[in-house]
Amino acid sequence: MFPIFASLGDDLLKAMSNQTLWTNIVKTVVFIALGFIFTKKKLLPDSTGKVLTRFVMGVCLPCLAFCSFMKDFTVTEGVGAIVNFVLGFVFYILFIFIGKLVFLWVKDKDKREVLAVLFAFGSTTFFAYPLISSIYGSTAGNYFNIMNVAYRVFLYSYAYVVVSGIKLGKKKEPLQEGEPSISTKEILKKVFLNPILLATFAGLLLWVLQAIPGVNFITADPYSGKEIANGVAFWRFDVTLPWFYQAANTLGGLSSTIILFAIGCTLGAGSIKEAAGDKYAWIWTAIKVFLAPAIVLGILFAVEGIAKAAGYAQLITIETVQSSVLTWLVPPATVAVGYCINFDRQKEMASHISLISTFGAVVGVVIWVILLVVVESLGFFPAIVAA
């Protein structure tokens, strides 16, 4: 009588019996728990999380971003890259305004502004990227990185301006002591000289260059002499420089494990009791973990529905859905929280939100990964198909 509910029940059953799904969920919980226990028991210093994060963001994640593009170029994935680049700017502009609306009920203007900024900018590089890459693979990870260009543009410009209190268009001379100031040049440096972004652009460029006719001219492995099917370009380092690729790929593969352990260390170093008493931390976490991904999923359903009605069969892929949804349930960006601490803008509340929402995100990942398996099984969003 209700075939749609029967279908959803079957899809949910498939999701709950997916071995890969539960493997990734268990790994996430175990690695975070280990970091938490080791820090709480004082077996590691409180600064362990920060040190590990610096290593991952400076070495592992750039390697992961670059190596993920070492594969054959397809027209479908090329279109997907363009779609995700545009979606990134659409989503961040949209969520800047949604953040303002969601927290209109907060009477304190200072709190309201900080809550909105933290809502719009999640911990994408530290939290989302390693999870997306480890659970959904390199294609979803690539789409995440392309979408994340917009994140860096707005995080180092809009978020800085709002939290610091700079009044654009109102030049003050001389500048008061301690008054925040940042030049356009400094903003551009922060955006475009980030190691992860540089590695992403380098990998993306080499991947796209494979579309040029005639570049795939190497037909044999230079080390073994074995023939390579279809040939590859000389910059396909996974084939032409396997020793270099394997070293970089190994470093990139460490990112998810180290980051999850670092998250546990961060949780163990914080005051959970103090953070648990902050109502804004709980409300923010509930909105971020459940409402924000639901909004993203709803928008993607609408866009894909319009594309199908217009006769375009493959616009929003399931890889885009997976990377987008997980991107929006993560804790606030560490850079944004750093702004709050540096400029003394609700720094205690921001720190509490960061701690509580990390616990919330761990639960949210489990729930949304299961839901995304159900969404994938519906077949509404196409998967990547080789051209």
Question: What is the residue extent of each domain of the chain?
Answer: 3-210+234-378
Quote the pLDDT of residue 16. 55
Torsion from C-alpha of 9, 12, 13, 18, nearest 10 degrees: 160
Quote the pLDDT of residue 172. 44
pLDDT at 1 exceeding the cut of 80? no
* pTM, full prediction: 0.71
Q: What is the pLDDT of residues 220-233, one digit of tens each?
A: 555 565 665 566 77
Q: What is the pLDDT of residues 296-329, one digit of tens each?
A: 999 999 988 888 888 876 778 888 898 889 889 8
- Residue percentage of the chain with pLDDT more than 70: 80
Asked whether 122 and 299 are in contact (CB, 8 A), the reply is: no
Lowest mean pLDDT among 15-19, 201-205, 296-300, 378-382: 15-19
CATH number of 3-210+234-378: 1.20.1530
Q: What is the pLDDT of residues 88-136, one digit of tens each?
A: 899 999 999 999 999 999 999 989 999 999 999 988 877 787 778 777 8
